[in-house]
Amino acid sequence: MDLEELIYNCKKGKRQAQAELYRKYSGILFGMCLKYSRNKTEAEDNLHDSFMTIFNKIEQFNFNGSFEGWIKRITVNTVLQKYRKEQHLNVVSENVGEETDVDTEQADISLSTLLGHIQELPNKYRLTFNLYVLDGYSHKEISEMLGTSIGTSKSNLARAKMILREKIEKENINIA
């Protein structure tokens, strides 16, 4: 079954098509959820919530643009909306300097260790870091997505980088 037919059958509410769509995209979306979550269990919950939203809104997909891009956007928005509701994204009043770069070229750190450190960040820092560094959103876009100011987005990013730098340095890894 091609993608267009699969989406059409999902729009009709066919469970077999929904199961196939889940199998086809759950790995990609789970990776995204893991990026934005504190742990695997939370990522699984976020994945479930994202698919519920995808199936509820699939009628709105009109084949203009990439389906994968559309479901990724829904996934990010679903996760961010959950954190906004939990009010974990309070404004930071710390005075943190401009962005600090962590040179991963110089660091001998595994991807799983780095992901673990990112997952340990407080929500507001982790979400800002992932949106800016890993997904390429601007501070303006992040501030709109998280309901904060641009300055808060910049501050949260700088603080996230500072925390990550400290964690990496504690492991006696050379960073520039």
**pLDDT tens figures, 61-86:** 999 999 999 999 999 999 988 887 76
Q: Say if CB 103 and CB 175 are below 8 A apart.
A: yes
Chain segment 120-145, per-residue pLDDT in tens:
999 889 999 999 998 889 999 999 98
Place of tokens 């998280």: 146
Q: Could you tell me the pTM of the whole model? A: 0.72
Could you tell me the pLDDT band of residue 167, with boundaries at 50, 70 and 90? confident
Structural domains in the chain, CATH included, are 3-85 (1.10.1740.10), 90-176 (1.10.10.10)
Is the pLDDT at 109 greater than 80? The verdict is no
Whether the pLDDT of residue 106 is over 70: the answer is no
